């Protein structure tokens, strides 16, 4: 009999209702999305769980007059924490987050849970009474999966019980600590969840330990070797391929910002690599300042927008991510659309950056860029991707 050897990533309940602003929003839940999306490429199998409740579900405090969220009742013989109404079937808040839906080509299966109004289902494998399986365990076995990594929301409930059930099923199980967040109804629930997983035999790692591995299907590539290293970049070789890596801040945040007057905010700054002035989107590295190595990409995006342009957003929406120049570097880009921008500072960047801010009407961007190019300025092609997102956001705004 062949020993199951494939690795699977289980993404738990990454749904809008569990993000900040949702009825059961988990603080910082949105911050894990870029990491989760990036992790998907490192696994042969990727599955998601999806809370999918009927409107009359017994876990909703609203269905128990006089009761409040956070109280514990008996539900069909089991203790049940009461929650706000969330993830009701066929509502937008119950769908998988847009970024995950956009990556659906890499999503091999989705397992819904919590569909029986008489019993809740924290785990992706079973309901809370282990009465009915979701089908996840059998499906993983059929795919030849022997180990799983678990991430998503929320650490102290659905992630924890999914990991514990995976261990109980004999799967080697790893919790990806920085790709999950906790509800923490009681202070320290997050730490206790991790303790429960490790006590049951699970491992706990940060995403960097996995993202440093070759992507799925690339394990046979030669080992990477260092050719040279400078202050900001290193040159490496893998077989016959040579490419560069950043030594600090390997992820960059790009910001697509449009003013209330429908003007796209662009910047101009000198770029020695192309020996000229370059027209670009506002952008910057994540975690490249001393002491900020764990900076959230969204915070970096807000910081860079204010530093470079003087504009501050009320909200940032992550709309896309991926590699910038895969033939040259392993740099990772995250596109954000900045909503509700207002002028709050002078902009211009740091003293050494010499940044000029340009406000370009959305319906004139093509002509304006052509004029800048004719005048000898270099155009960063990422502007065209930004223009797509800018016009899409403007159309949604009406």
Gap between the Cα atoms of 306 and 44, Å rounded: 40
Tell whether 257 and 148 lie within a shared domain: no
Tell whether 20 and 169 lie within a shared domain: yes
Tell whether 291 and 374 lie within a shared domain: yes
Catalytic (active site) residue 106: no
Select which of 17, 30, 51, 113 is catalytic: 113
Tell whether 302 and 199 lie within a shared domain: no
Tell whether 141 and 287 lie within a shared domain: no
Catalytic (active site) residue 90: no
Global pTM value: 0.64
Catalytic (active site) residue 87: no
Tell whether 54 and 110 lie within a shared domain: yes
Tell whether 154 and 266 lie within a shared domain: no
Q: Which two tokens stand for residue 184?
A: 């923490």
Question: What are 124-154's pLDDT values in tens digits?
Answer: 999 999 999 999 999 999 999 999 999 999 9
Angle between helices 382-397 and 365-374 (to 10 degrees): 160
Categorize the per-residue pLDDT at 219 as very low, low, confident or very high, splitting at 50, 70 and 90: low
Question: What are 273-314's pLDDT values in tens digits?
Answer: 999 999 999 999 988 777 777 677 888 899 999 999 999 999
Q: Which two tokens stand for residue 166?
A: 């995976």
Tell whether 294 and 375 lie within a shared domain: yes
Domain end residue (candidates: 188, 211, 234):
211
Gap between the Cα atoms of 379 and 46, Å rounded: 38
| Cβ contact 92:85 at 8 Å | no
Select which of 13, 30, 120, 156 is catalytic: 13
Residue tagged 């960063």 (tokens): 380
We report the CATH number of the domain holding residue 371 as 3.90.79.10
Select which of 51, 127, 156, 158 is catalytic: 158
* Domain range enclosing 371: 251-397
Domain end residue (candidates: 185, 211, 237):
211
Instruction: Confirm whether 262 is domain-assigned.
Output: yes
We report the CATH number of the domain holding residue 161 as 3.40.50.850
Tell whether 274 and 385 lie within a shared domain: yes
Largest CA distance in the chain: 75
Tell whether 255 and 189 lie within a shared domain: no
CB atoms within 10 A of CB 379: 15
What pLDDT score does 347 carry? 93
Angle between helices 189-199 and 160-168 (to 10 degrees): 10
Domain end residue (candidates: 179, 194, 211):
211
Give the DSSP per-residue string, 106-163: G--EEEEE--STTS---SSSB-TTS-SB-SHHHHHHHTTEEEEEEEEE-IIIIIHHHH
- Count structural domains, the chain: 2
Gap between the Cα atoms of 240 and 234, Å rounded: 17
């Amino acid at each position: 009999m062949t020993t199951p050897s494939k690795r699977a990533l289980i993404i738990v309940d990454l749904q809008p209702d569990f993000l900040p602003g949702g009825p059961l929003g988990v603080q910082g839940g949105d911050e894990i999305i870029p990491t989760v999306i990036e992790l998907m490429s490192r696994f042969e199998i990727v599955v998601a769980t999806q809370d999918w409740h009927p409107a009359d579900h017994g876990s909703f405090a609203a269905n128990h007059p006089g009761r409040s969220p956070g109280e514990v009742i008996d539900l069909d013989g089991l203790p049940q924490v009461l929650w706000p109404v969330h993830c009701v079937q066929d509502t937008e808040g119950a769908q998988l987050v847009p970024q995950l839906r956009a990556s659906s080509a890499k999503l091999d299966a989705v397992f819904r849970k919590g569909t029986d109004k008489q019993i809740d289902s924290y785990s992706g494998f079973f309901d809370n009474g282990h009465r009915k399986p979701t089908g996840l365990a059998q499906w993983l076995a059929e795919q030849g999966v022997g180990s799983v990594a678990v991430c998503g929301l929320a650490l102290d409930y659905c992630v924890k019980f999914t990991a514990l059930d995976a261990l109980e099923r004999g799967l080697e199980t790893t919790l990806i600590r920085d790709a999950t967040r906790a509800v923490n109804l009681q202070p320290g629930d997050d730490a206790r969840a991790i303790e429960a997983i490790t006590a049951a035999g699970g491992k706990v790692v940060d995403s960097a330990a996995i993202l440093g591995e070759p992507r799925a299907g690339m394990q046979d590539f030669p080992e990477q070797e260092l050719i040279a290293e400078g202050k900001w970049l290193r040159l490496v070789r893998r077989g016959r391929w040579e490419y560069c890596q950043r030594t600090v801040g390997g992820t960059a945040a790009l910001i697509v910002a449009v003013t209330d007057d429908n003007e796209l905010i662009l910047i101009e700054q000198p770029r020695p690599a192309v020996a000229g002035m370059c027209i670009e989107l506002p952008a910057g590295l994540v975690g490249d300042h001393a002491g900020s190595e764990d900076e959230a990409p969204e915070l970096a995006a807000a910081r860079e927008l204010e530093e470079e342009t003087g504009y501050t957003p009320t909200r940032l929406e992550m709309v896309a991510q991926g590699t910038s120049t895969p033939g040259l570097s392993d740099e990772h880009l995250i596109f954000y659309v900045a909503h509700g921008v207002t002028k709050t500072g002078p902009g211009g960047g740091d003293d050494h950056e010499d940044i000029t801010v340009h406000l370009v009407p959305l319906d004139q961007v093509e002509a304006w860029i052509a004029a800048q190019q004719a005048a000898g300025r270099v155009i960063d092609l990422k502007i065209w991707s930004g223009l797509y997102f800018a016009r899409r956001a403007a159309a949604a705004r009406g």
